[in-house]
Structures are given as structure tokens and as C-alpha cells.
């Protein structure tokens, strides 16, 4: 059996709403292809960065956004309530954002396995830089162990008819001060970090992007088009 083909989109720095709208279009197109009996509905993989923005998942607590409208304006940051799982998170320049819009029926129908594969792609990418990422039982994400543990990648997905959207926020060269305005993912007793912070120097985003995408290709067994 041939590996599934996934269409790759490198969106660069793109407004959050614009990227969300594109996700919705591709997500709905994929679902419609499945409904109409297309043998191999077209999956997509989007990578990008966003201007400063805070997003709150459908199960999140709005009080975990600590900044008011004036502070958001001062930070030149936007705020959206969105339809993924999870609580509040931050996206901004220097953070690698990955949106897999995949038909999981071409891979496996197990959302927990899907989340573990996303986490594993970040863990494998970190290993290329000599940084050990790990999971913490009961918490979604990739962490660097310490006292306290430091979160380096956050995950939030939506899945309908086994089609996914939203995905990964991986702190590469992220300005971490923006996390001071939220309780990240609703967790107050742990810290946030970035790859640059762990290495004490800026990292080549293009290299990180390539390594992460290759890891996902290997884990899921797809080919890019």
C-alpha cells in the first residue's frame, strides 16, 4: 500500500485569523471529500508563525488570560476564543506552529495515539539539538525536566469525522515574556521555555522546521506533495 500523500503549506508569518480561516476551508473540504466517497481525500500540513496572539480553547478558563484590553493593545497582541481542545496559550514570532489537517482514517483511528505522535515529533526534533524533551503523565505537551519543569511545546486539536485541525505550538526563538500575561494551559506551578532559552542562543528556524516535518513524515508514514 502506498503511503498517504499530504500537501505541504509553508505560510511564513501569517495573521492568526487568516490561518484559522484557511484551516477551516481545508478541514471542511477534506470532510466533504470523505462524504462524497473520494478514495484518498487530500490531507494537508501547514507550518507558520503568527504575530502576537493569545488563544483560548473551548474548555478553557477566560480568567487564565491575565492581560486586559489595554495591556493587549500595549503588547500589540490579539485574543481569540477558538474551537480546539485545551486552555489558553500564546503564539508569536519565533514559535513554530504546525497545523496538521489529516484524515486519520488513512493512518489510524486513535486520537490519543495521534497526540503522542505529535509530541514525539517535537521530542525527536529537540534530540537533534542535544535537548531532552519528555512527557509528564496526565499533562499534554513536551517538557524539559527541572524544578519546576519547563514546557517547550503546547498542543491543542480538534477532530471531527477523524479529520484533525489545530496542532502544535513549539517555542523555538519565542519571546517568553509574553507568557507572563497568561496561566499557560491553565497550569500555574510550572514554567515555559524555548529551544533558544535552553541552548542560550538563537536557533535556525528553517532547520527546526525541516527536522520536525521529517520526524512527522517518518512517524505517520506520509509523503509530502
Measured in residues, the chain has a length of 225
Which is catalytic among the residues 97, 144, 185, 212? Answer: 185
Q: What is the C-alpha separation between 62 and 38, in angstroms, rounded? A: 40
Residue 185 known to be catalytic: yes
Q: What is the C-alpha separation between 128 and 130, in angstroms, rounded? A: 6
Sequence-ordered list of residues with C-beta below 8 angstroms from that of 65, at least 6 positions apart, any chain: 54, 56, 79, 88, 181, 182
Burial class of residue 11, CB neighbours in 10 A (0-12, 13-18, 19+): middle
* Cβ contact 101:30 at 8 Å: yes
- For 52, other C-beta atoms within 10 Å of its C-beta total 18
Which cell goes with 135?
512527557
Annotated catalytic residues are 185
Amino acid at each position: 500500500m502506498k503511503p498517504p500523500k499530504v500537501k505541504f503549506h509553508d505560510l511564513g508569518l501569517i495573521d492568526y485569523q487568516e490561518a484559522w480561516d484557511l484551516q477551516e476551508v481545508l478541514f471542511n473540504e477534506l470532510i466533504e471529500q470523505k462524504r462524497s466517497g473520494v478514495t484518498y481525500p487530500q490531507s494537508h500540513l501547514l507550518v507558520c508563525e503568527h504575530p502576537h496572539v493569545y488563544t483560548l480553547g473551548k474548555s478553557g478558563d477566560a480568567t487564565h488570560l491575565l492581560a486586559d484590553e489595554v495591556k493587549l493593545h500595549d503588547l500589540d497582541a490579539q485574543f481569540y476564543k477558538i474551537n480546539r481542545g485545551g486552555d489558553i496559550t500564546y503564539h508569536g514570532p519565533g514559535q513554530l506552529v504546525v497545523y496538521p489537517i489529516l484524515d486519520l482514517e488513512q493512518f489510524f483511528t486513535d486520537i490519543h495515539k495521534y497526540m503522542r505522535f505529535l509530541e514525539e515529533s517535537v521530542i525527536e526534533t529537540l534530540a537533534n539539538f542535544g535537548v531532552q524533551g519528555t512527557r509528564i503523565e496526565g499533562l499534554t505537551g513536551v517538557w524539559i525536566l527541572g524544578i519546576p519543569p519547563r514546557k517547550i511545546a503546547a498542543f491543542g486539536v480538534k477532530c471531527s469525522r477523524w479529520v484533525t485541525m489545530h496542532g502544535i505550538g513549539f517555542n523555538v526563538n519565542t519571546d517568553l515574556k509574553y507568557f507572563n500575561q497568561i496561566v499557560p494551559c491553565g497550569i500555574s506551578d510550572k514554567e515555559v521555555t524555548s529551544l533558544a532559552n535552553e541552548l542560550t542562543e538563537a536557533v535556525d528556524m528553517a532547520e527546526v522546521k525541516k527536522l520536525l516535518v521529517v520526524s512527522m513524515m517518518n512517524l505517520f508514514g506520509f509523503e509530502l506533495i
